[in-house]
Chains A and B, each alone.
Chain A
Amino acid sequence: MDIYFWIFAVIGVAAGIFTISYKDALPCALGLLTVFMSLAALYVHLHAPLVAIFQVAIYAGAILVLVVFVIMLLMTPDEDQMGRQKNIGFRIMGFLLGLLMMCYLAIGVKGIDQLVHQEKLPKGFGDPHVFGDLLFRQYLLHFEVASVLLLVALIGGVYLAKKRL
């Protein structure tokens, strides 16, 4: 019984449920933050400290900040002040389907332990220099492509948000 795992798992799931159900936008953002942080903790447990740092830095530090900023900027009202829902049938169907999907996914992996065996972890697994080595040698092209993608996103974002085009 991996106590570490179970604590953060429960926190994550509870925060997730909170995120998708609360009516205000800002508390939902904070719930999302909790999800991010619990996941970061789990990454550490999974011998991936660099990924955990990235998780905190990028997601909690950048993305979430951006989202909160936009929430504050737009002063979105609460959802129950938004008026009647028109496609409630589809939403209910989607909700049920999501539950069904959850069951499928969760139950479908029964028995995966017999298929996937724990390999012996080499020395220095998850260390930054191993990570960097992989990133800048074997996956250099992917890295460059990702940087181009970010450039594109940068230009796109600036262009879209301009007041006068």
Chain B
Amino acid sequence: MGPMASLTDYVILSSILFALGAIGFVVRRNALILFMTVEMMLNAVNLMLVAFSKFRADMAGQVMVFFIYAVAAAEVAVGLAILIALFRHVRSVDITKYRLMKW
């Protein structure tokens, strides 16, 4: 193997993925795609954790990633359940239809 990628590269990659996720969250209208972008942000954070874990030789980073997986799974399950329940009433996944929590 050649020279390893530096930490900077991993952090920049993680940042880019996170920013993409954030942009996607703001720009998209489909609620399911919003979920996907949230998962992308979580993954970016996971990458950062694993990178630092390797560079600091500390396994705790990977353990933390593990917990993030658990939480992400739980969150997706519940979130999609809510979405389905909502869909039964509104008949659409367009977030512009979900306007009750406003002034």
Residues of A within 8 A of B (CB): 1-6, 9, 12-13, 16-17, 19-20, 25, 28-29, 32, 35-36, 39, 42-43, 46-48, 50-51, 54-55, 58-59, 62-63, 66-67, 70-71, 73-74, 76, 79, 82-83, 85-87, 90-91, 94-95, 97-99, 101-102, 105-106, 109-110, 112-113, 116-122, 125-126, 130-131, 134-135, 139, 142, 146, 149-150, 152-154, 156-161
Task: Verify B43–A116 contact, CB threshold 8 A.
Answer: no
Minimum CB–CB distance from B34 to chain A (whole Å) comes to 10
Task: Verify B70–A150 contact, CB threshold 8 A.
Answer: yes
Residues of chain B contacted by A5 (CB below 8 angstroms): 4-5, 9-10
Task: Verify B73–A86 contact, CB threshold 8 A.
Answer: no
Minimum CB–CB distance from A70 to chain B (whole Å) comes to 5
Residues of chain A contacted by B25 (CB below 8 angstroms): 94
Q: Contact check: which of B16, B22, B51, B69 meets A46 at CB < 8 Å?
A: B51
